Structure 1
Amino acid sequence: MKKLLVLLLSFGYFSIFSQSKVMVRNSGDQSPISNATVSCNNKIIGRTDASGMSVFTTKCKKVEISANGFQNDDIVVDKVMEVFLVKTDPNVKNIQTIVLENKSDPRALEILRKVNENYQQNSPKSLDSYSFKSYEKISLDFDEDSINAYNAYITNRIDSLKMLPQRTMKAAERKDSLESVNLMKLVGGSKMFLWERASQNLYSKKYGEKINILDNKVAGLKEPIYELMAFRSNRNQIPKEVREENRNLYRFFLTDSIEIEGRENYVIRFRQVDDKQSAKQRKFNGYLYVDKATYALKKIESNSKIKSEGSITSIWKPVENKWFLVKENYKLKMGSTSFDNDEAKDKNKTKEEKDSTKKHTKKFGSYAFVTADYFDFKTSIEEKPEDFKGYTMSVKNSDGNSIDQYRTENLTGREAATYTKIDSLSAKYKLNQRAKALTGLLKGKVRLGMFDFDLARVIGYNKYEHIRLGAGAKLNEKFNRFISPDAYFAYGIYDKDFKYGVGVDVRTTLQKNSFFRAEYFDDVMAAGRFSENLWNFRMKIMNSGVALNNNMFFGYKGFKVSYENDLTNALTINIAAKRTQEESKFNYNFKELGSRFDIASSTITLKYSPNSKNIMTPTGKYTYEQNLPELYLNYEQGYKALGGDVQFSRFDALFVHNFKTKLGLTGVRLYGGLVTGDAPIWKNFTLNGLGNGNGGLNFNLTSYLGFATMEGGKYYNDKFVGAYLTHRLPWYFKSFGKNVSSFDVIYRGTIGDMKNPEFHQFEFKKLDHLYNEVGLEWNNFLSSQFNLGFFYRVGHYNTPKFKDNFAIQFKLKLLGF
């Protein structure tokens, strides 16, 4: 009897405290909507009363709200919810009683200002330590409203195909036809893609962040995709709708206040700025709940302008006076799948026939669905150094066998079917190999079996070789997990000469980046290049054009041995020794010793990146978040004692950082170098001019350390310092299209000297006065993925002719700062 009583009390407790309340209103005049239905999986679980309110209990993550005369909407389940329905009448905008001005409510802006000011104080990272667990699920599927229509369409389509006259088909055609039908059936009964991840998140002010992957499962893949494991939400970032820099992209309105779990909240509605209005367009793009006591975000729902394009919902809760994200729900439209009712593909159709065919084409929208639940919060944990060792992210288990322990809800029938059906097609369609190939592209490589081909070596251009064609390949972990040989070759169209290199990496452990390398090479390079040791693929690609207009090249042939090790997640060291023969490819004489030298040297390189986040994969370390600041240090020492012709010391350093203020985002690159002793000109520093020097329009592609207005290959120094400063103005706007544009103000400057320029017997100039150029860069120029910059040279090196001082630059947006 006692147990029964406890059970009944427990049932009563959960019945009361798991209840949710929703308020349904007209988006036009804010009036309540009565008799609106609340549905879960097509079952009605509640109706609104005269005040537009409904109280219900459900295990569903989302519920649908519908009412006569209004467009349906769905909403993520929470304790308290509010939804605004849009009238189905296309002339609704003509009868709305509330006219929104094209400016934000000052009261709403003041609240948002305080949200930004208090964000760090409200963030869990203001605690000394904490931990929590998370369960995340990503899937690709049709919208729920389209699944039944799709299945009915496929059934009718297959039936109609059976009724067509049978024609003689080749075996390959029959096989393709059957596979096409089977694939259409499969998509009707399961999701197209499904991935689950469970993780443990640790944080310590002393030791930093640590993420342990507790388990991982991907439909159709036997091996985990480590790069996918590194998928991160915005739980540690201010949502883009609230950020100061995006303030001009939205209009905000303080509309109400609401009590949630005993705490008062401001309700701020927002809409995206747009000149065009549509009957299908929402009046509001979303809403914010802001806790009155702390100015912390309690909830945000951000919708696309058109309902069918998707939505994002995030919900926070206070734990020990800090606000932790507890739930996220994304729905993003990825495109449409279309099917032509006419099986025959007649290329000779008239335009009228083709237009008629388009009208009868069925389209089904496909969406990416992301859900995340965060739980088991602890605001004070035992901080053991061993718990934070290694890279930021570690994989404890990835076979998917224990993922059901962490699920916060059972899989639906379609989700469960995804694992069985997609797994059955995995081998047939080589999904595992294709997934590996896609992850290789993140590192600039194409994976084919046990070979990784280097995309950066396929084609290039410089003033010595002109067009450079080549190929490079490396044997990956499928060959051997510890030993990885590689080779490349290249051919210059202008110099008509082959270049090549061979090498091998030998890992000492699979737990982190630690390996020995030996290599032999015979190649050419532009003189005076700044060191790029330990730079990542994106940085190297961005800087690849820095010597495009430098025709001073030298050849180098020899061998090199090195050892690289990640001492910590933040600190990497590389130690190398090499013996080379180096010779200028231009008319040059150094101290009457000629133009060819035997050089014996050693190099030590350090990279310090305290905020970057890494994970170890079978292919090596993968940096899934490159966060600033970063510091690169190189020291090379040449020796006569080991058979070298010259003795010298070469040091260079690069520091990169950015920081945000109320005035906008500022980026800084500080760099410099110093050479002492006897070193030929190519061991000194050219000052990275990108200009062509031919007297015409100076147009070039941006580079990581280059000067748009400086002539390439003109200046050389044995010591110099440089600065690259960029400041993004806090003004964001749209020209047309979907991309948001902004402007960066840019300054580049450098100064240095050459101690004995007469030692280097060829035509060049030293740069011993401050060289300055200023510019304005238009980000996402005309809504494209390119930035367009205009630069002008000022100061000592300015000339009377405008065109000599002026330059235009293009930059691919994804290269970033």
Structure 2
Amino acid sequence: MNKLLSFLLSFLFLNVAAQSKITVLKAGEGTPITNATVSCNKKILGKTNAQGVLQFRTKCKKVDVEAPGYYEDEAVVDQVMEIALSKTDPKTQSIEAVVINDKSDPLALEILQKVNDNYQNNSPQSLDSYSFKSYEKISLDIDEDSIKHYNAYLEKRLDSLKKLPEKIQTAEKKKDSTESVNVMKLMSSSKLFLWERASEFLFSKKYGEKINILDNRVAGLKEPIYEMMTLRSNRNRIPREIREENRTLYRFFLTDTIEIEGRQNYVIRFRQVDYKQPVNKRKFNGYLYVDTQTFGLKKIESNSKKKSEGSITSIWKPIDNKWFLSKENLKIKMGSTVFGNTKTDEKKDKDSVNKNLQKFGNYVFMVADYFDFKTQISENKKDFAGYTMSVKNSDGKILDTFRTDSLSAREKITYEKIDSVGKKYKLDQKLNAFTGLIKGKLRLGKVDLDAAQLLKYNKYEGARLGIAAKLNERFHPYLSPDAYLAYGFKDEGWKYGAGIDVKTTLNKNSFFRAEYYNDVMAAGRFSENLWNFKMKIMNSGIDLKNDRFYRYEGFKIAFENDLSNALTFNISAKKDIEETTFDYNFMNLGQKFENFASKITLKYAPKSKNIMTPSGKFTYEQSFPEFYINYEQGMQALGGDFKYSRWDALAQHNFKTKAGVTGIRVYGGLLTGDAPIWHHFAMNGLGSGKDSFNFNLTSFLGFATMEGGKYYNDKFAGFYFTHRIPWYFKTFGKNTSSFDVVYRGIIGDMKNPEYHGFEFQKLDHLYQEIGLESNHFLGTPFNLGFFYRVGHYSTLPFKENFAVQLKFNFLGF
């Protein structure tokens, strides 16, 4: 009897806990809508009462809400929901558009500022430790409301195609036509793409974050897309709609307070600034609930202006007074499947053809549930070993134990049908080619091409065309040979090299490398060992105005290993023949020498996040600070002509405060012993000199106003400081613009400059330039900077001190 009673009480509790409450209001007025219909998959769940409220239970993730005289809308199912419907009468809408100000409510902005200010304190990562699990499902499909219409249309279309006279076609066109029909049939019963993932999240202030992919499966692929596993959500970041830098893109209005699970929440609605209230568009782009006690974000829903274009919803829950993300739901339109007219009348005008087009929207759907939350977990160092993210299983066999939402019949058949399609059309290779671009590679089957080597430019070589190919993991999991060939049109010289990597394990970045090379490089280049693709691209234009190069030919062996997720080291030894390409005489010994040297490089990035993939380590989130150290030792052994020691170091950090976003980069170098000028340090001038206007592309370590190839030191220290003024404004497009104040400086010295028989200057006073950089200039993806030289090296003519600089915004600070 007691067991039966316990069962009944548990059953009653689960049903009450699963109950949802929705309030339906009039947009712009906030008054309730009576008899609004709430339904799921065309099945009516109920109608709202006189207070606009309905309580219901459903397993659906979303419900549709409609009322006579209002535009239909939808809401993500939660315990408490509130939705505002816009009237369909254009005259009424025009009146409402006048009523709503084009300025944000000051109280709403004040609350949002407190959300940002308290974000770190409300974040789960302010706890000592925690753990939770997640189940995520991403798919590409036709909208559910259109599937029946699509199937009916497809059946009629295929019948009409059969009745058309058979055309004489080439074998290739006939094959394309057949494949097109097969894809159309596939879409009638199956999704186009389906991916599921179950994960475990661990966090410790002592050991950091660890994400274990417990299981993973992608329809149509033999192996998971490792780069796709790193896709982020609102889990550990402020939603883009309410970040300070995006405030000018929206207007915010405090409309109500509402009680959810015994806690009071502010209700803030928002809309885009360019929202002009045309017919069939929403009055607001979304809403958010903010906890009145902690100013933690409880819920945000961000919609497109048109309902058909999609929405994103994130819901948080308080645990130990911290706000954990508990649910996400996304629907984004990704183009349309378009069918033309089947008739053969070629005289139809354009308008007539457009009327006969049938479009079915394709959408990306994502649902994510987070559960099994635990705080103050036992912290075992072994649980956090290795890279930030690791894959425990990827065959989908245990996914069912984590699914919070069972697969529909359409989803089940997707795995069966798309798996066969993926095998036939080699989807693995095509998607790998796409993900390779993230790392700067063009993947062609078993070969990776280095995109950064295709075209370069410097003052010595002029335009440099090249090709660098490397056999990837499809050739062999442990062995990876590579080679490159390049030609400079100005110096009319060929450059080439070849090498091989031998991995010691597939679990982390660890390999031996041997290589031969015959190439040229600018004298005094700062070490770029272990730099990522973006940093190298930013620094690639540093020699556009410098022709002081040297040629080097030799052989090198090296070993690289990740000691931990944060620490990487590389040790190498090389034997080179080195010779300048300009008029030079070192200590009256000439301009051609032999060099034998060893080098150790360390990189420390304690907050960056990595994952191991079959093609190697992938840093999916570069976080600061970062530190790079190089030590090179030249030896008079094995034919080496010189004994020297060369040190260089780089540290960079980026952080945000109430005063704005600040970026700091400090670097320096030291050479002891005697060595030719190319083992010293160039001061990285980007300018053209006295007679030309200084316009250049940004570089990682360069100076916009300094003449290229003019200054060399054997010791130096430099800094780069940038601060983004917290004033964000909208110009053109969907980006916000802002201004960065930039201050760069460098100082050093050189002993015995007379040893080097060519014209240059040592830089022994502080060289300084200040600048103002406009981000997303006129809404473009470029930053435009204006710089002026100040201090000891400034000159009287304004033109000589002034420079204009262009930079791609995605390169960062």
> TM-score range with shorter-chain normalisation?
over 0.9
Match of 1:629 in 2: 625
How far apart, CA to CA, are the structure 1 residues paired with 2:344 and 2:637?
Answer: 79
Query: In the alignment, residue 273 of structure 2 is paired with which amino acid?
Result: V
Query: In the alignment, residue 177 of structure 1 is paired with which amino acid?
Result: S
How far apart, CA to CA, are the structure 2 residues paired with 1:101 and 1:450?
Answer: 59
Q: 2:484 touches 2:498 (CA, 8 Å); kept in 1?
A: yes
How far apart, CA to CA, are the structure 1 residues paired with 2:565 and 2:801?
Answer: 44
How far apart, CA to CA, are the structure 1 residues paired with 2:104 and 2:431?
Answer: 46
Match for 1:707 among 694, 703, 721? 703
How far apart, CA to CA, are the structure 2 residues paired with 1:326 and 1:403?
Answer: 19
My pick for the range that moved more, 183-192 or 58-67, is 183-192
Q: CA deviation at 1:94?
A: 2.4
CA 1:732 to 1:335, structure 2 compared with 1: closer, same or farther past 3 Å? farther
Query: In the alignment, residue 452 of structure 2 is paired with which amino acid?
Result: A
CA 1:155 to 1:791, structure 2 compared with 1: closer, same or farther past 3 Å? farther
Match for 1:502 among 469, 484, 498? 498
What is the 5 A alignment of 1:7-406? 7-96=7-96, 99-274=99-274, 276-342=276-342, 353-406=349-402
Query: In the alignment, residue 596 of structure 2 is paired with which amino acid?
Result: A
Q: What SS does structure 1 have at the residue aligned with 2:349?
A: helix
Match for 1:440 among 419, 436, 439? 436
How far apart, CA to CA, are the structure 2 residues paired with 1:147 and 1:780?
Answer: 41
Q: 1:252 touches 1:270 (CA, 8 Å); kept in 2?
A: yes
How far apart, CA to CA, are the structure 1 residues paired with 2:464 and 2:94?
Answer: 63
Q: Deviation string for 1:436-492 (max 9, x for gaps)?
A: 111111111122222111111222112222121221111111222112111111112
My pick for the range that moved more, 3-12 or 149-158, is 3-12
Q: Deviation string for 1:483-510 (max 9, x for gaps)?
A: 2111111112222222111111111111
- TM-score for both structures, normalised by structure 2: 0.97
Q: What SS does structure 2 have at the residue aligned with 1:166?
A: coil
Q: 1:245 touches 1:664 (CA, 8 Å); kept in 2?
A: no
Match of 2:794 in 1: 798
CA 1:60 to 1:579, structure 2 compared with 1: closer, same or farther past 3 Å? same
Q: What SS does structure 2 have at the residue aligned with 1:741?
A: strand
How far apart, CA to CA, are the structure 2 residues paired with 1:360 and 1:804?
Answer: 64
Q: CA deviation at 1:694?
A: 6.6
How far apart, CA to CA, are the structure 1 residues paired with 2:607 and 2:344?
Answer: 57
- TM-score for both structures, normalised by structure 1: 0.96
Q: What SS does structure 1 have at the residue aligned with 2:338?
A: strand
CA 1:148 to 1:691, structure 2 compared with 1: closer, same or farther past 3 Å? farther
Query: In the alignment, residue 654 of structure 1 is paired with which amino acid?
Result: L
What is the 5 A alignment of 1:686-701? 686-693=682-689, 695-701=691-697
How far apart, CA to CA, are the structure 2 residues paired with 1:789 and 1:145?
Answer: 50
CA 1:801 to 1:276, structure 2 compared with 1: closer, same or farther past 3 Å? farther
Q: Deviation string for 1:543-570 (max 9, x for gaps)?
A: 1111111101100011111111111110
Q: What SS does structure 2 have at the residue aligned with 1:95?
A: helix
How far apart, CA to CA, are the structure 2 residues paired with 1:711 and 1:154?
Answer: 67
Q: 1:92 touches 1:279 (CA, 8 Å); kept in 2?
A: no
Q: Deviation string for 1:724-753 (max 9, x for gaps)?
A: 111112122222222222222212211112
Q: CA deviation at 1:2?
A: 5.5
Q: CA deviation at 1:205?
A: 0.9
How far apart, CA to CA, are the structure 2 residues paired with 1:779 and 1:154?
Answer: 48
Q: 2:24 touches 2:32 (CA, 8 Å); kept in 1?
A: yes
How far apart, CA to CA, are the structure 2 residues paired with 1:18 and 1:37?
Answer: 20
Match of 1:528 in 2: 524
Q: Deviation string for 1:353-391 (max 9, x for gaps)?
A: 234323432223222212111000110211111111111
Q: CA deviation at 1:102?
A: 2.7
My pick for the range that moved more, 53-62 or 465-474, is 465-474
How far apart, CA to CA, are the structure 1 residues paired with 2:721 and 2:345?
Answer: 57
How far apart, CA to CA, are the structure 2 residues paired with 1:206 and 1:614?
Answer: 18
How far apart, CA to CA, are the structure 2 residues paired with 1:442 and 1:545?
Answer: 21
Percentage of identical aligned residues? 67
Query: In the alignment, residue 732 of structure 1 is paired with which amino acid?
Result: Y
How far apart, CA to CA, are the structure 2 residues paired with 1:462 and 1:269?
Answer: 53
What is the 5 A alignment of 1:296-695? 296-342=296-342, 353-693=349-689, 695=691
How far apart, CA to CA, are the structure 1 residues paired with 2:201 and 2:465?
Answer: 47
My pick for the range that moved more, 108-117 or 605-614, is 108-117
How far apart, CA to CA, are the structure 1 residues paired with 2:13 and 2:76?
Answer: 23
How far apart, CA to CA, are the structure 1 residues paired with 2:722 and 2:470?
Answer: 37
Q: What SS does structure 2 have at the residue aligned with 1:742?
A: strand
How far apart, CA to CA, are the structure 2 residues paired with 1:18 and 1:283?
Answer: 31
Query: In the alignment, residue 512 of structure 2 is paired with which amino acid?
Result: F
How far apart, CA to CA, are the structure 2 residues paired with 1:605 and 1:48?
Answer: 67
How far apart, CA to CA, are the structure 2 residues paired with 1:739 and 1:156?
Answer: 44
Aligned length: 813
Query: In the alignment, residue 436 of structure 2 is paired with which amino acid?
Result: G
Query: In the alignment, residue 546 of structure 1 is paired with which amino acid?
Result: I
Q: 1:194 touches 1:218 (CA, 8 Å); kept in 2?
A: yes
How far apart, CA to CA, are the structure 2 residues paired with 1:363 and 1:812?
Answer: 36
Q: Deviation string for 1:195-228 (max 9, x for gaps)?
A: 1110111111111111111000001001111111
Q: 2:249 touches 2:734 (CA, 8 Å); kept in 1?
A: no
My pick for the range that moved more, 552-561 or 457-466, is 457-466
Q: What SS does structure 2 have at the residue aligned with 1:241?
A: helix
Q: Deviation string for 1:664-711 (max 9, x for gaps)?
A: 111111111111110111111111111223723322211111111212
How far apart, CA to CA, are the structure 2 residues paired with 1:665 and 1:17?
Answer: 44
Query: In the alignment, residue 172 of structure 1 is paired with which amino acid?
Result: E
Q: 1:249 touches 1:732 (CA, 8 Å); kept in 2?
A: no
Q: CA deviation at 1:276?
A: 4.2
Q: CA deviation at 1:340?
A: 2.1
Q: What SS does structure 1 have at the residue aligned with 2:183?
A: helix
My pick for the range that moved more, 584-593 or 356-365, is 356-365
Q: CA deviation at 1:107?
A: 2.4
Query: In the alignment, residue 339 of structure 1 is paired with which amino acid?
Result: F
How far apart, CA to CA, are the structure 1 residues paired with 2:194 and 2:275?
Answer: 38
Q: 2:37 touches 2:46 (CA, 8 Å); kept in 1?
A: yes
Q: What SS does structure 1 have at the residue aligned with 2:512?
A: strand
Q: CA deviation at 1:97?
A: 8.9
Q: CA deviation at 1:3?
A: 5.0
How far apart, CA to CA, are the structure 2 residues paired with 1:697 and 1:339?
Answer: 55
Q: What SS does structure 2 have at the residue aligned with 1:112?
A: helix
Q: What SS does structure 2 have at the residue aligned with 1:167?
A: coil
Q: 2:214 touches 2:391 (CA, 8 Å); kept in 1?
A: yes
Q: What SS does structure 1 have at the residue aligned with 2:730?
A: coil
Q: What SS does structure 1 have at the residue aligned with 2:241?
A: coil
Q: 2:304 touches 2:310 (CA, 8 Å); kept in 1?
A: yes
How far apart, CA to CA, are the structure 2 residues paired with 1:104 and 1:605?
Answer: 52
How far apart, CA to CA, are the structure 2 residues paired with 1:449 and 1:329?
Answer: 35
Q: What SS does structure 1 have at the residue aligned with 2:221?
A: coil
Match for 1:773 among 766, 769, 775? 769
Q: Deviation string for 1:168-191 (max 9, x for gaps)?
A: 334333222111111112123222
How far apart, CA to CA, are the structure 1 residues paired with 2:779 and 2:334?
Answer: 20
My pick for the range that moved more, 604-613 or 633-642, is 633-642
Q: What SS does structure 2 have at the residue aligned with 1:545?
A: coil
CA 1:800 to 1:359, structure 2 compared with 1: closer, same or farther past 3 Å? farther
Q: What SS does structure 1 have at the residue aligned with 2:96?
A: coil
Q: What SS does structure 1 have at the residue aligned with 2:475?
A: coil
